[in-house]
Structure 1
Amino acid sequence: MQLLYSTSSPFVRKTVLLAHALGLDHCIEWLPSAASPLKRDPRITARNPLGKVPTLITDDGLALVDSKVIAEYLCALAPDDAVLPAQGAGRWRLLRQQALADGILDVAVGLRYENALRPEGLRWPDWTAAQMEKLEAALEALQDEFAAPVPGAPLNVGEIATIAALGYLDLRYADFGWRTRYPRLAAAYASVWDRPEVRATTPVVA
């Protein structure tokens, strides 16, 4: 398998952490790219018309897009109920947590584009405020979804998505102070920080 990636993408980080949890990280060839909402990278668009990362190219040449689809594929390759149960209430609980974390990322990435790329005179403060309400409500909900993972156990899909979301807030929204606002969430996040795979995938500015 091959993965088109960017070091600053939280959705790529989700994929990398999941591959590690499933023991598939050694099966992936990492292909760096330069995904941008304003300048499409032909290395990506040749395989993914949306021009986004992550893009996973399977061994039979199929290009999978969207981190949730890639997660389903990797979990099907190496099923592990500790990472994502095949059925039952536990599966839906983890997929719900993933959806909340992904929703935070959708908002945070969108606001990043709004404030860093859109000309100042074209920005819409009311839209920004409404998006921040969504982000804050989702973080509050995640305080009840994200508990300290069991030491030594692989990270599950919900935990991985949450780690990626919180790491992106650290990268792009350091002034937001989410740890002070959501202390239970901060405590759970701190419990995973010393894991080698978490430290190794800490996002950096591209």
Structure 2
Amino acid sequence: MLLHWSPRSPYVRKVMIAAHEMGLQDRLHCVRTVVGGTTPHLELMRENPLGKIPTLVLADGTIIYDSPVLCEYLDTLHHGPKLFPAGAERITALRWLALGDGMLDISLALLSERSRPADKQSQPHMELWRGKLMACIPALEAEAVALSASAFSIGHIGIGIALAYLDFRFAELNWRDGNPKLTAWHEAFNMRPSVQAHLPVDDR
């Protein structure tokens, strides 16, 4: 399986951590694919018209995107504990995944705006996005006990990566302040071998 990949993408990191948890990481042939900016990646767009990573290409030519769909597909390929559980636990895991992905979407919008020249930046938008990110933190603090008590799932990966991306790009937000339960949960998340094996890299 060929995976269009970048060490900077938190969405790719989600897939790599999930694949590691499933024992499938060695089945992925990772191909460095640079996207973003104003130049379209035409080769990638022939496989994924959105031009986004991660994108998975199977041996028979089947193409799978985006990261939640890709992770759920991988979860069908192994016989160990499933990252996408059944029943009520599935809804909780998917809700946590949606929250984590939403935080990543906002973080990347904020990062893109912050990278513009100062006189071109929209301060109202940046304040709005920061406010949304920080509104997620007390909500997660309230769920930290549930995160700690429940079986590890795709939702845990989504939340863990979103918080790690705040550390990576927005350390000034100090999300740990006043959130001891969430801080403790994230410290435990960061100790997992799958997480340590796929740390974010800024190689620009």
TM-score normalised by the chain length of structure 1? 0.88
CA–CA separation in structure 2 for the residues paired with 1:121 and 1:127: 14
> Does the Cα contact within 8 Å between 1:6 and 1:32 map onto a contact in 2?
yes
Post-superposition Cα deviations, 1:84-129, rounded to whole Å, max 9, x if no partner, equal 11x311000000000001111000011000111x332222111111
State the shift of 1:170 in Å: 1.4
The structure 1 residue matched to 2:170, chosen from 164, 168, 173, is 173
> Does the Cα contact within 8 Å between 2:141 and 2:181 map onto a contact in 1?
yes
What amino acid sits opposite 2:129 in the alignment?
Answer: Q
Match of 2:148 in 1: 148
State the shift of 1:142 in Å: 1.9
Post-superposition Cα deviations, 1:136-187, rounded to whole Å, max 9, x if no partner, equal 122222223343377xx7x410111112111211111122111224322111
Length, aligned pairs only: 201
Match of 2:23 in 1: 23
CA–CA separation in structure 2 for the residues paired with 1:62 and 1:182: 43
Identity of aligned residues (%): 36
The structure 1 residue matched to 2:123, chosen from 103, 122, 125, is 125
Counterpart secondary structure, 1:76 = coil
Name the stretch that deviates more: 43-52 or 13-22.
Answer: 43-52
Runs (5+) with no aligned partner, structure 2: none
Alignment of 1:1-206 (within 5 A): 1-78=1-78, 82-85=82-85, 87-116=86-115, 118-146=116-144, 147-148=147-148, 155-206=152-203
State the shift of 1:132 in Å: 1.6
RMSD of aligned residue pairs (Cα, Å):
2.0
CA–CA separation in structure 2 for the residues paired with 1:2 and 1:161: 22
CA–CA separation in structure 2 for the residues paired with 1:30 and 1:193: 23
CA–CA separation in structure 2 for the residues paired with 1:67 and 1:185: 24
What amino acid sits opposite 1:58 in the alignment?
Answer: L
CA–CA separation in structure 2 for the residues paired with 1:145 and 1:158: 12
Distance 1:24 1:131, change over 3 A: same
> Does the Cα contact within 8 Å between 2:72 and 2:84 map onto a contact in 1?
no
State the shift of 1:193 in Å: 2.1
CA–CA separation in structure 1 for the residues paired with 2:68 and 2:141: 22
CA–CA separation in structure 1 for the residues paired with 2:15 and 2:120: 34
CA–CA separation in structure 1 for the residues paired with 2:138 and 2:49: 35
CA–CA separation in structure 1 for the residues paired with 2:128 and 2:163: 20
> Does the Cα contact within 8 Å between 1:33 and 1:43 map onto a contact in 2?
no
TM-score normalised by the chain length of structure 2? 0.89
Runs (5+) with no aligned partner, structure 1: none
CA–CA separation in structure 1 for the residues paired with 2:28 and 2:113: 33
Counterpart secondary structure, 1:34 = coil
Distance 1:37 1:181, change over 3 A: farther
What amino acid sits opposite 1:198 in the alignment?
Answer: V
